[in-house]
Structure 1
């Protein structure tokens, strides 16, 4: 049975026997932990509304640790005042049932006041300039909120590994950079994008999509496919092909469609050859979705 933990103190106490079993074995140069080490702990941070993409994260965590803890917490710091914090889906019973099905040992499910005790100002982890581009241009405070809550989870839980999805590619890159910059002694693992049968990337926000909006949401994956199909012809041609998909979908409003270096997220120019990351975000009615795909540019 999944043990539900609601306070920082209870969580640390519950995990102490596991931590005692790994402190000696699990801390080596660079934060890399031997796969053979016993009593390892893996964290899967989520905002709940779990779907098959989260199942893959949990199963990835299970491959690398003897104990798995999933956090269910809708983090207010990563939502702007005009975003969907209040209506974000919170099907707690359904989420806990999935954790039981997957054999998850622990669930950290704190209240806001537990995560952010009342102060005049909350200390924030800054994502820097890398958090102001792409997704950050449209959600300027988003990644500061993400990194702040992730850093708190790392400090509270002290996992050996933490698992994130590649669908949130920019978030994943920023978390990895934070782990390196702030010397968190853990390893970040990533699971591939999980898609519906028709290509739509799995997302908790997909529950907002109804009727024509659901069909229109396919414009994101179709735009990425178009970029991939034309990638051999260069950056300009590839992006134009993707943007044409959006132009023909009246219910989709594109925020961005960009090609960046897959390792550094730096912008790439015409003539670039090698692996790149195509990233896109669009609004389908009142629902904002993101997606990405790795593509090979050049010959």
Structure 2
């Protein structure tokens, strides 16, 4: 089992010992309740680093009013067993008081062009909380490499800009989305789905794939978006957005440059997100 570290002094000692041995530090931030998608991030870090650290911290500042902070699944023992299976060296599991020691903490403000679209439009302040906690984690762990999943692609772009803006000496690696056999992107919130909702859930991925294929064939995005919303609603979803954006800055897609189709929709209690590249 990976060693669990719960105090900053113990964390700094563990990191210091790794540094003294000349080891490169790989880091995977998580909120726990791990699935194969999370484990794939640890597996991506392992060949690039001699010491791999995962954090487990359910971050209160990225949850808005009425969101599922209290209900968010917590499963530390199962998570430790899963991390042991992929060779994680130790787990940083700080209490809230360590991560936010002051009653009025400093918070980052993500630039509007990155935060006020897609998921940021539906979850005001969410990415401010994400950027704030990741900056704190980077300061504590001081990794050489950090790995994030491309399912949260907007988050990945925001964190890459944050690292550039603050001149952080950390490489950010994006890892491919890990999917169930039927195409559903793996997510801790998939556990909220009942049997009938789980059967319908892969519709989101199919809509994104159909939309991307249509765009590659030169079809009109407005018509494809309307068709996608109709298909999602027919499957029982409450669509949030279906957007075609630049994969470099989330702006308007540009000819000859990478782009992606992004989607989010509610299915019962679960808000599912996904994206596919063109």
Q: TM-score range by the shorter chain?
A: over 0.9
* Residues 96-144 of structure 1: per-residue CA shift (max 9 Å, x gap): 001111121110011111111132x110011120112111111001000
Q: Which runs of 4+ in 1 moved over 4 A?
A: none
Which of 264, 268, 274 aligns to 1:285? It is 268
SS in 2 for 1:147: helix
Kept after mapping to 1: 8 A contact 2:63/2:126: yes
Shift of 1:242: 2.2
The equivalent of 1:258 in structure 2 is 243
Q: Is 1:236 matched with 2:219? A: no
C-alpha separation in 2, matches of 1:267 and 1:188: 24
C-alpha separation in 1, matches of 2:257 and 2:111: 27
C-alpha separation in 2, matches of 1:217 and 1:204: 14
For structure 1, which runs of at least 5 residues remain unmatched after alignment? 23-38
Shift of 1:8: 1.5
The equivalent of 2:177 in structure 1 is 193
Equivalent positions of 1:178-217 (< 5 A) are 178-217=162-201
The equivalent of 1:275 in structure 2 is 258
* Residues 222-241 of structure 1: per-residue CA shift (max 9 Å, x gap): 21022022112242233233
The equivalent of 2:86 in structure 1 is 102
The equivalent of 1:157 in structure 2 is 141
Which of 22, 30, 34 aligns to 1:46? It is 30
Shift of 1:274: 4.9
The equivalent of 1:145 in structure 2 is 129
Shift of 1:273: 5.6
C-alpha separation in 2, matches of 1:223 and 1:176: 28
C-alpha separation in 2, matches of 1:57 and 1:268: 28
C-alpha separation in 1, matches of 2:209 and 2:190: 20
Kept after mapping to 2: 8 A contact 1:222/1:245: no
C-alpha separation in 2, matches of 1:166 and 1:45: 14
The equivalent of 2:16 in structure 1 is 16
For structure 2, which runs of at least 5 residues remain unmatched after alignment? none
Q: How high is the TM-score relative to the length of structure 2?
A: 0.95
C-alpha separation in 2, matches of 1:265 and 1:186: 22
Shift of 1:194: 0.4
- May I ask how many residue pairs the two structures share in their alignment? 275
Kept after mapping to 2: 8 A contact 1:230/1:241: no
C-alpha separation in 2, matches of 1:171 and 1:19: 29
